[in-house]
Chains A and B, each alone.
Chain A
Amino acid sequence: AQSVTQLGSHVSVSEGALVLLRCNYSSSVPPYLFWYVQYPNQGLQLLLKYTSAATLVKGINGFEAEFKKSETSFHLTKPSAHMSDAAEYFCAVSEGNAGNMLTFGGGTRLMVKP
């Protein structure tokens, strides 16, 4: 069975600082991995997706994530936080290509201080 753990339900950084949001997964097969972002009162938007083509995946808004099989991790980073990055971030895993196989983590709220 697949699962996702996001370490830290809340992360606070200063504007301009590095953003690091942690995600560890469990999967019995090579997984698909995703990061979604949810801005206040909005639905989830796809940030990036890992599909085994490259271990470093670049997404929108300057975010990227690195797949590390040995650590079963898919952490999300951004070199310099912007106020507009404040949102809820969800890591998700899927063992197949069907949308109903997605399992989401519990989310991490990113707060950006001026």
Chain B
Amino acid sequence: DTAVSQTPKYLVTQMGNDKSIKCEQNLGHDTMYWYKQDSKKFLKIMFSYNNKELIINETVPNRFSPKSPDKAHLNLHINSLELGDSAVYFCASSPTGANVLTFGAGSRLTVL
């Protein structure tokens, strides 16, 4: 069983569209994250979320929004996609108060 799974693995779309990436973890972790990895492999945290608190990296545009139907899922919604949003997006999870993360395999988003 995959511990942290993301879908879709690849996503190609046009500028201006709205898209979502789904993430599920079966580790029983309380905290989930979204990271963006750009073309130079630089990893940047976008959000962290547990059932009590959402922490947003202030540099993330408000076109990006995380939605969590339950503690095992944290989906990423992106509105009005731009060329610069092209990247690999990683979901991750950890127990609350722990700094060791388990990552998903990534979702490669290409905006044309």
Contacts and interface: CB of A to CB of B under 8 A. Distances in A.
Q: Do A and B come from one complex?
A: yes
Interface of A: 32, 34, 36, 41-46, 49, 88, 90, 94, 96-102, 104, 106-107, 109
A102 B103 contact: no
Contacts of A32: 99
Interface stretch (B14-22, B61-69, B71-79, B90-98): B90-98
Contacts of B102: 46
Contacts of A100: 31, 33, 45, 48, 55
Contacts of B90: 43-44
Q: Is the interface of A mostly helix, strand, loop or mixed?
A: strand
11 contacts: A41-B106, A44-B90, A44-B92, A46-B102, A98-B48, A99-B94, A99-B99, A100-B48, A102-B45, A104-B44, A109-B41
Nearest to A43: B103
A94 B43 contact: no
Interface residues of B, number: 24
Contacts of A34: 99-100
Interface of B: 4, 31, 33, 40-45, 48, 55, 90, 92, 94, 97-106
Given A43-B104, A102-B45, 20 more contacts: A34-B99, A34-B100, A42-B105, A44-B90, A44-B92, A44-B101, A44-B103, A96-B99, A97-B97, A97-B99, A98-B48, A98-B99, A99-B94, A99-B98, A99-B100, A99-B101, A100-B55, A102-B101, A106-B41, A107-B42
Nearest to A46: B100
Contacts of A45: 103
B46 to A, nearest CB: 10
B62 to A, nearest CB: 19
Most buried by B among A42, A44, A97: A44
A43 B106 contact: yes
A44 B55 CA distance: 22
A13 to B, nearest CB: 19
Nearest to A93: B99
Contacts of A43: 4, 90, 92, 103-106
